[in-house]
């Protein structure tokens, strides 16, 4: 059994959420062509047919970006790597642009104008079966350098959708001297330890779309954005980052899946700051509470087992270790009290 982490680790960064405080529906319409073009013959997720994983050409480490000792893995961010086949992307897009999903799952915030979130197993079985498949989780964990599971059902696919509904975005690009440094989202930290960003659009005619990372010394490093079917894995809870606006192209649709450590014995500093304003609160709070209590349950069972074994072996009580364990669980519960708030 893995030991419960007792080493002091640096305090996690504070997450700042959108100024939108409550779940809000977008006022602009998703273009009809996106909805019509997305219709396909439905098929179940099949890793042999729908996965196209190839390891990334490079994985940047936390050490390389000046964050050694932070977070839950030595890996910081990957270069884009192939993950899904074109057929898989078509199936996912069909679920995103289906009538019930558009009715129930559209959100907007001061960060992102059009989002689809919390589709759930029933409305998006392909997407959910893909993200919960052993094959996909093994690949994502391999790139992350730590075994991961989706943070909560609700976070299995946050879809960010941008489309050219006016000349606004293109005009901005024309005004910019280089056209490649406009932030799509302000500098921020994510609410969950890891994210996987998968591109669902053809990006051949786009410029920009990179992720910029800001190192503790202020230096900015850019990582190439994913192209259709490829993904980037990043330890976003611990790395300050920003998405660079993509220009050109008719639409840009990316799928962001949030992850937490699979092992209950690894620290989990997930917060709900970024997701509270863009979620069904009852569903999110329920899923968050269940997973946190499951983590706590596993930790308590393991600790209890260890204490019983120690007693049988006639070893003395370890006061320092017991106190450190209790302190850790106290902080874990206190974090839940901070996160579960009335909005």
Distance of alpha carbon 315 from the chain centroid: 43
Closest to Fe ion by CB, 236 or 249: 236
Closest to Fe ion by CB, 90 or 245: 245
* φ, ψ of residue 32 in degrees (nearest 5): -60, -35
Report the DSSP pairing between strands 115-116 and 106-107: antiparallel
Distance of alpha carbon 158 from the chain centroid: 8
CA distance 231 to 237: 18
Closest to Fe ion by CB, 79 or 240: 240
Closest to Fe ion by CB, 153 or 190: 190
CA distance 64 to 56: 17
Contacts with Fe ion by CB under 5 A lie at 190, 236
Taking each continuous run of H as one helix and of E as one strand, the counts in the chain are 10, 15
Q: How far is the CB of 211 from Fe ion (least distance, A)?
A: 8
Distances (CA, A) of 243 to 114, 115, 198: 15, 15, 14
Q: How far is the CB of 310 from Fe ion (least distance, A)?
A: 43
Return the residue nearest Fe ion (CB atom): 190
Q: How far is the CB of 183 from Fe ion (least distance, A)?
A: 12
Q: How far is the CB of 190 from Fe ion (least distance, A)?
A: 4
Q: How far is the CB of 185 from Fe ion (least distance, A)?
A: 7
Which residues lie below 8 Å from residue 268, measured CB to CB, with a gap of 6+? 72, 193, 260, 261, 295, 332
Closest to Fe ion by CB, 190 or 210: 190
Distance of alpha carbon 58 from the chain centroid: 20
């Amino acid at each position: 059994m893995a030991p419960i982490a007792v080493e002091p680790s640096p305090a996690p960064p504070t997450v700042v959420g959108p100024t939108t405080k409550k779940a809000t529906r977008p006022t602009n319409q998703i273009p009809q062509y996106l909805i019509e073009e997305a219709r396909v013959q439905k098929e179940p997720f099949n890793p042999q047919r729908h996965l196209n994983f190839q390891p990334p050409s490079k994985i940047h480490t936390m050490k390389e970006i000046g964050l050694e000792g932070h977070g839950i893995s030595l890996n910081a961010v990957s270069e884009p790597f192939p993950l899904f086949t074109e057929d898989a992307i078509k199936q996912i897009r069909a679920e995103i642009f289906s009538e019930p999903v558009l009715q129930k799952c559209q959100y907007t915030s001061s960060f992102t104008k059009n989002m689809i979130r919390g589709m759930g197993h029933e409305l998006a079985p392909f997407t959910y079966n893909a993200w919960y498949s052993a094959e996909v989780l093994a690949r994502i964990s391999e790139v992350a350098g730590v075994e991961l599971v989706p943070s909560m059902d609700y976070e299995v696919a946050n879809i960010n959708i941008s489309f050219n509904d006016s000349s606004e975005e293109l005009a901005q690009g024309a005004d910019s001297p280089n056209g490649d440094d406009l932030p799509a989202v302000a500098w921020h930290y994510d609410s969950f330890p890891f994210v996987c960003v998968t591109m669902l659009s053809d990006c051949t005619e786009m410029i920009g779309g990179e992720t910029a990372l800001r190192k503790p010394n202020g230096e900015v490093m850019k990582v190439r954005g994913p192209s259709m079917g490829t993904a980037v894995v990043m330890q976003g809870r611990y790395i300050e980052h920003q998405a660079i606006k993509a220009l050109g192209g008719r639409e840009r649709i990316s799928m962001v899946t949030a992850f937490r450590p699979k092992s209950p014995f690894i620290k989990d500093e997930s917060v709900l700051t970024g997701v509270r304003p863009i979620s069904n609160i009852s569903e999110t709070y329920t899923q968050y509470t269940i997973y946190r209590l499951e983590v706590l349950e596993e930790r308590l069972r393991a600790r209890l087992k260890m204490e019983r074994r120690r007693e049988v072996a006639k070893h003395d009580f370890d006061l320092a270790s017991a106190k450190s364990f209790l302190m850790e669980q106290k902080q874990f519960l206190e974090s839940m009290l901070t996160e579960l708030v009335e909005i």
